[in-house]
């Protein structure tokens, strides 16, 4: 029994929601259920992000969800965005759940700011933070540097990713950042952790996203075209939590994830019409394009610089503006945009989009889903 995404929902994205994360979570979930025309009473499973501060039972208590039969968490951090859908689809396909709610609620700007780092040196961070590797950009910049060293990738090529995201966001009424950005603007933005500049870094956002999954058969009777989950995959890579100590920082662990994904779906990179990539930092769009076989290794920078990732280019990427310009909900806004593309209702629609890849080639974990529309 294949699973499908029946509904999607999101709150306003802002720099100050003025509301609790619980209120944001409830609104996004209710909107996703309304989008699917599924009543709360039919929800029998809830899956949340491992980092979410609203746990499954809190959500269930406040939404009046009763008799849940499946509760779990997907991780790790941002790459949970596709993993959470993968886990939901697996529960449905295994017959363990029929109607699954997935969510991410985050006061990411007015609450604790992920971009400032954990503040506490525990776990693998204990061997990073005392030397000043205190925030995500100081970690992930190490990967960006290796991509430059190994392949000759340039800051201007990272900039092409940021410029494409902003151009796409300018068409998206929900995006937080819609004003124009040129490559010169990117190059003039201040260095944060050289080689990464301010405009290589994602936003910090208040808001929430949610999706509702059910069987493809049931979803086909809903108000929207059913968006089938063809396959999902997750990968830890060799480094686990100690990401910066692993062997190769210039190749993403998502290569493992990609092989599983395509094998399970019976499809390949050439079948993908539109791509959503977890873009906490611009270089990780390049890592993903290479890991998922959409560019040869080391060639994604040139592909981006030539406009290949723009709407109208060979392979449109992050047509909503991504984490760089739309909002940062830790990667759950990406599968939502993939659903909209496959329904044919995106703000910046890719004509004839039938298969979408939503993926994360971060460091630490990777995740991906391949989705197919009815068209």
Partner 1 sequence: MLEGLAMPAPDGDSAPFWNGCEEGKLMLQRCDGCGQASWPPGPVCASCGGDRLTWVESQGRGTVYSWVVVAVAFTPELADQLPYAVGLVDLEDGVRMVTTFEGCEPNEIEAGMEVEMRFDESREGQRLFCHVPAGSDRGSR
Interface with partner 1 (CB under 8 A), residue from 194, 217, 306, 345: 194
Task: Compute CA 356 distance to the chain's CA centroid, rounded to the nearest angstrom.
Answer: 13
Q: Of the candidates 19, 104, 145, 167, which one interacts with partner 1 according to CB under 8 A?
A: 145
Nearest approach, Cβ of 282 to partner 1 (angstroms)? 14
Site string for partner 1, 233-272 (x = CB under 8 A): ---------x-xxx--x-----------------------
Q: What is the DSSP code string of 269-314?
A: GGG--EEEE--SBTHHHHHHHHHTTSS-TT-HHHHHHTTTTSTTSS
CB 320 to partner 1: min, Å: 27
Nearer to partner 1, 110 or 142 (CB): 142
Task: Using the rule CB under 8 A, give the single segment among 9-17, 45-53, 138-146, 299-307 that binds partner 1.
Answer: 138-146
Alpha-carbon dihedral of residues 147, 148, 153, 158, nearest 10 degrees?
A: 80
Strand 196-197 versus strand 227-235 pairing type: unpaired
Site string for partner 1, 98-137 (x = CB under 8 A): ------------------xx-xxxx-xxxxxxxxxxxx-x
Q: What string marks each residue from 171 to 190 as x (binds partner 1 by CB under 8 A) or -? A: -------------------x
Min. distance of Cβ 83 from partner 1 in angstroms?
Answer: 24
Q: How many residues does the chain have?
A: 375
Minimum gap (Å) between residue 128 Cβ and partner 1: 5
Q: How far is CA 359 from the centre of its chain?
A: 6
Is residue 364 within 8 A of residue 79, CB to CB? The reply is: yes
Window contacting partner 1 (CB under 8 A); options: 193-201, 271-279, 352-360, 367-375: 193-201
Q: Give min distance, CB of 145 to partner 1, in A.
A: 5
Separation in Å, CA 94 to CA 97, 371, 372: 8, 18, 20
* 210: contact with partner 1 by CB under 8 A: no
Cβ nearer to partner 1, comparing 171 with 246: 246
Show Cβ contacts of residue 238 under 8 Å, excluding neighbours closer than 6 positions.
Answer: 246, 247, 253
Binding of residue 149 to partner 1 (CB under 8 A): yes
Residue 288 near residue 277 (C-beta atoms within 8 A) = yes
In this complex, which beta carbon is closest to partner 1, that of residue 4 or of residue 133? 133
Three-state DSSP class for residue 46: strand
Judged by CB under 8 A, does residue 202 bind partner 1?
Answer: no
Structure tokens of 293? 């076989």
Tell the smallest beta-carbon distance from residue 203 to partner 1 (Å). 16
Helix crossing, 254-265 with 283-291: angle to 10°?
A: 40
Apex 8 CA angle, 226 and 295, nearest 5: 75
Q: Mark whether 278 is an active-site residue.
A: yes
Contact 66, 89 (CB under 8 A): no
Stretch touching partner 1 by CB under 8 A, among 70-78, 139-147, 334-342, 350-358: 139-147
**Angle of helix 333-343 relative to helix 80-93, nearest 10 degrees?**
60
Closer Cβ to partner 1, 37 or 198, answer by number: 198
Measuring CA to CA, how many Å separate 34 from each of 86, 138, 200, 344?
A: 22, 41, 36, 19
Q: Which stretch binds partner 1 (CB under 8 A): 36-44, 140-148, 264-272, 285-293?
A: 140-148
| Residue from 20, 34, 40, 195 binding partner 1 (CB under 8 A) | 195
Least distance between partner 1 and beta carbon 117 (Å):
6
Residues marked as catalytic = 278, 328
Contact positions toward partner 1, by CB under 8 A? 116-117, 119-122, 124-135, 137-138, 141-146, 149, 190-196, 242, 244-246, 249
């Amino acid at each position: 029994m294949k699973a499908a995404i029946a509904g999607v929902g999101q709150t306003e994205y802002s720099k100050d929601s003025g509301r609790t994360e619980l209120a944001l979570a409830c609104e996004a979930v209710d909107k996703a259920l309304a989008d699917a025309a599924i009543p709360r009473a039919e929800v029998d499973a809830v899956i949340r992000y491992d980092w979410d501060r609203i746990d499954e039972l809190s959500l269930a208590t406040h939404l009046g969800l009763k008799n849940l039969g499946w509760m779990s968490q997907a991780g790790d951090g941002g790459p949970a965005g596709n993993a959470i859908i993968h886990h939901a689809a697996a529960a449905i396909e295994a017959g363990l759940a029929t109607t699954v709610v997935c969510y991410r609620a985050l006061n990411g700007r007015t609450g604790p700011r992920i971009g400032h780092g954990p503040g506490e040196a525990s776990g693998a961070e204990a061997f990073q933070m005392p030397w000043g590797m205190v925030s995500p950009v100081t970690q992930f910049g190490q990967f960006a540097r290796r991509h430059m060293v190994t392949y000759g990738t340039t800051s201007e090529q990272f900039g092409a990713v940021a410029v494409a995201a902003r151009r796409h966001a300018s068409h998206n009424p929900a995006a937080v950042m819609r004003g124009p950005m040129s490559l010169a603007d990117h190059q003039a933005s201040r260095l944060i952790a050289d080689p990464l500049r301010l405009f290589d870094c994602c936003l910090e956002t208040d808001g929430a996203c949610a999706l509702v999954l059910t069987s493809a058969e049931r979803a086909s009777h809903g108000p929207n075209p059913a968006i089938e989950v063809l396959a999902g995959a997750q990968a830890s890579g060799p480094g686990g939590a100690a990401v910066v100590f692993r062997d190769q920082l210039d190749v993403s662990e998502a290569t493992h994830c990609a092989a599983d994904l395509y094998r399970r779906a019976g499809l390949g990179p050439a079948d993908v019409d539109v791509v959503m990539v977890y873009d906490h930092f611009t270089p990780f769009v390049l890592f993903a394009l290479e890991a998922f076989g959409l560019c040869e290794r080391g060639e994604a920078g040139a592909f981006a610089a030539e406009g290949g990732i723009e709407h109208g280019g060979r392979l449109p990427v992050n047509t909503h503006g991504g984490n760089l310009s739309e909002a940062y909900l830790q990667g759950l806004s990406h599968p939502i945009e993939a659903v909209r593309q496959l329904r044919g209702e995106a703000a910046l629609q890719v004509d004839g989009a039938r298969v979408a890849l939503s993926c994360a080639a971060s460091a630490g974990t990777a995740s991906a889903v391949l989705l197919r529309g009815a068209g």
